[in-house]
A and B are shown apart, each in its own frame.
Chain A
Amino acid sequence: MSAPTETTWVPVIGLEVHCQLKTASKIFCGCANRFGAPPNTLTCPVCTGQPGALPVLNDTALDLALRAGLALDCELASVSRFDRKNYFYCDLPKGYQITQYEVPFASGGGIELANGKHIRLTRIHMEEDAGKAIHDRGTHTLVDLNRAGVPLIEIVTEADMQSAAEAFEFLGLLKERLRFAGVSDCDMEKGSLRCDVNVSVHLPDEPWRTKVEVKNLNSFRHVRTAIEHEIARQISAYESEDPSRQPVQETRLFDVDSGTTRPMRGKEDEGDYRYFPDPDLVPVSASRERLEEQRRLLPELPAQRRERYVSEWRVGAREAAILTADRPLADFFEATVRALAENEGGAQAAAKWLTNDVLRIVGEQGTGSLSDMPLTPGQLARVISLVEGGELQRKGAQCLLARLITEGGEVDSLVVELGLAAVTDDGQLRAWCLAALAGRESVAAQVRAGNEKAIGALMGPVMGSSGGRADPARVRALLLELIREDGP
């Protein structure tokens, strides 16, 4: 067989995504589900695994899990159960993790990528999070159990992805759906979304080869880098035909600094979790009423919204994508459009103002998102109306929005207070134009000679004199008029 080239190898990629549910309390006890508290201040006998303490399922955790299942088009089991997964590690106080092994609450479902490829889900199960072990401080491993017992869902995909780019896109869409559904913040930095990947490569028409699991991926970028590295590593190992380099079934850790992966542990204990049904917890049912309620609470998902913005409101595809990146922004946009009486032009204007100016100004504040700022959809609609009505120029509107976003206030009184009202008085505009023409006879001559572009040199001074309150089209017309009147 001739040496295969890199392009002939087919990567096979599957993901396991852990996602913390947005509940007030933990999954089996009343301790707060909150990130960033001082260590071990959110714990109790249940989540620290004291003998005799009994877990009781948080019904909101169940509701959110079911809603996630609905958002991902899964089949939901009418009854699901909890099992114990046994292993010893310092972040797991009971010596077992409560999870769903035999009967997960959801199976099937999936997400479609932009290229039309359907990435199938194998299953989703509920489980409790483990605590946090810190290894890089002092001589001991330090354990914080605040996270122990935070509700999680684990989403397991089929190995349907073939490139790092597909995995990256899938994760983005998954995160978007879970966030829209109000199931989770999906904040990788805070660990509310975590991802492990399974990667193998094989030649076309040949069975799949050894699968390698990669952990320790704390950002989408790391996921992409790790997959790319792992694919390259496996291909190079197979092509080397060096027996000592052949990939083995193992778990590898991603090293952030080098962008490479390295073996984590031997496989001898892998998978020996001795699962058995947890006798402390009774089965839970997804009753019809419960499901109906969650279906009702499930908002229109981003893909549907994008479609509606483009087809009904004629918003550009790029703008629609930006607006649906997170739910508060999409909701803000829709409220603005409603305030503008839902006309097509209003929707297009709202989309432009939001994606160009509002998001830029919010970004310049450094921290916080639009929903943290005082600007309301009603105010944005009013600003847009003023611009459309010619009462406010673009420059003035930007200035006004900056003020509304950073400090808030009342639109019409701010227009007066900041002196932003558009100057529509031709007399005033003409005076500024004449002032600009004075001493710039050569420019006027160029324009008269047919070079209309030269007029740009006059626009600046006039717009400057007006403090951005003049309508550029009107200024241009007036300048042309004055130059021609004055001409030979």
Chain B
Amino acid sequence: MESANNHQVGPAANAGEAGPPGDGQGRNLVELVQRTAALARLELSAPELEEMAAQFGRILEQFAVLSELDVDAVEPVRGRAREQDVTRGDTVTPSLAPEKLLERAPQVEDGFYAVPKTVLRAGAEHDKGGSSALTPGEDRA
């Protein structure tokens, strides 16, 4: 993965609150980054993990400033827009020609996107991060 190296990172620069490596909180940060990376299907080497954990610690530290503010009386803001009810009528508009979208796919078969087999046969375990379509013809949402 791309790493942003314009910050001093490494054990010495390890973000204050996160503590030095080996310290409980530092370990927790590494685990957090490891887990987040796994959920995002990113493979990080051990040095990359340390580096990310350090950066992550600093980001969290900066955001921690916010929690010092008393916001009990403030309505949470969700997204930039303050407006509501932006909807459209239920009108069908032409879809894009399938070739247009499929041409971006690494592999196409019979008009389908062809992806590496994501199903294991009966009895086998499988990690799919919370969705469920594992057997032929199965439905999920």
Contact = CB atoms under 8 A, between A and B. Distances in A.
Interface of A: 18, 23-25, 29-32, 38-45, 48, 56-62, 79, 81, 85-92, 97, 127, 129-130, 132-136, 138-145, 152, 154, 191, 194, 196, 215-216, 218, 251, 253, 255, 262-266, 268-274, 277-285, 287
A38 B99 CA distance: 13
A44 B39 contact: no
B137 interface: yes
A142 B128 contact: no
Given A90-B113, A142-B114, A265 B126 contact: yes
A190 B79 CA distance: 36
A87 B125 CA distance: 18
Contacts of A97: 141
Contacts of A135: 117-119, 133-136
Contacts of B91: 24-25, 30
Given A133-B133, A139-B117, A282 B126 contact: no
Given A88-B129, A279-B80, A140 B90 contact: no
Interface size class of B (residues with CB under 8 A): 35 or more
A473 to B, nearest CB: 56
B7 interface: no
Nearest to B38: A269
Interface in B116-131: 116-119, 122-123, 125-131
B115 A284 contact: no
B87 to A, nearest CB: 4
A90 B95 contact: no
Given A24-B91, A32-B92, A56-B86, A140 B109 contact: yes
A194 B140 contact: yes
A58 B39 contact: no
B90 A58 contact: yes
Contacts of B85: 282-285, 287
A81 B138 CA distance: 29
A142 B110 contact: yes
A216 B79 contact: no
B44 to A, nearest CB: 16
Interface in B74-114: 78-81, 83-96, 98, 101-102, 107, 109-114
Interface string B3-38: 000000000000000000000000000000001000
Interface string B57-89: 000000000000000000000111101111111
Contacts of B132: 196, 215-216, 251, 253, 264
Contact of B88 (A56, A90, A132): A56
B78 A31 contact: no
The 6 closest A-B pairs by CB, nearest first: A30-B93, A60-B90, A136-B136, A142-B112, A59-B87, A140-B114
Nearest to A144: B112
B2 interface: no
Contact of A39 (B107, B110, B130, B141): B110
A403 B23 CA distance: 86
Given A87-B130, A90-B115, A127 B88 contact: no
Given A32-B92, A44-B96, A283-B84, A87 B140 contact: no
A266 B130 CA distance: 10
A280 B86 CA distance: 11
A279 B78 CA distance: 7
Contact of A24 (B92, B95, B130, B140): B92
Contacts of B79: 277-282
A363 to B, nearest CB: 27
Contact of B118 (A90, A132, A191, A283): A90
B130 A270 contact: yes
Contacts of B126: 264-265
Contacts of B138: 215-216, 218, 253
Given A97-B141, A139-B117, 6 more contacts: A30-B92, A60-B89, A88-B128, A218-B139, A282-B79, A282-B85
A271 to B, nearest CB: 7
Contacts of A48: 101
Given A40-B98, A141-B118, A134 B140 contact: no
Contacts of A40: 98, 101-102, 111-113
B119 A282 contact: no
Contacts of B83: 282
Contacts of A284: 84-85, 87
Nearest to A290: B85
Nearest to A93: B113
29 contacts: A24-B90, A24-B92, A39-B98, A58-B89, A88-B128, A90-B113, A129-B141, A133-B119, A135-B117, A135-B118, A140-B115, A141-B114, A141-B116, A141-B119, A142-B110, A142-B114, A191-B139, A194-B140, A218-B138, A251-B132, A255-B122, A265-B128, A266-B127, A271-B130, A273-B130, A282-B79, A282-B83, A282-B86, A283-B84
A79 B127 CA distance: 36
A43 B122 CA distance: 32
Contacts of B39: 86-88, 269, 272, 274
A59 B20 CA distance: 53
Most buried by A among B79, B90, B91, B134: B90
B139 A57 contact: no
B118 to A, nearest CB: 5
A58 B130 contact: no
A319 to B, nearest CB: 35
A38 B95 CA distance: 13
Contacts of A141: 114-119
Contacts of B131: 87, 89, 91-92, 130
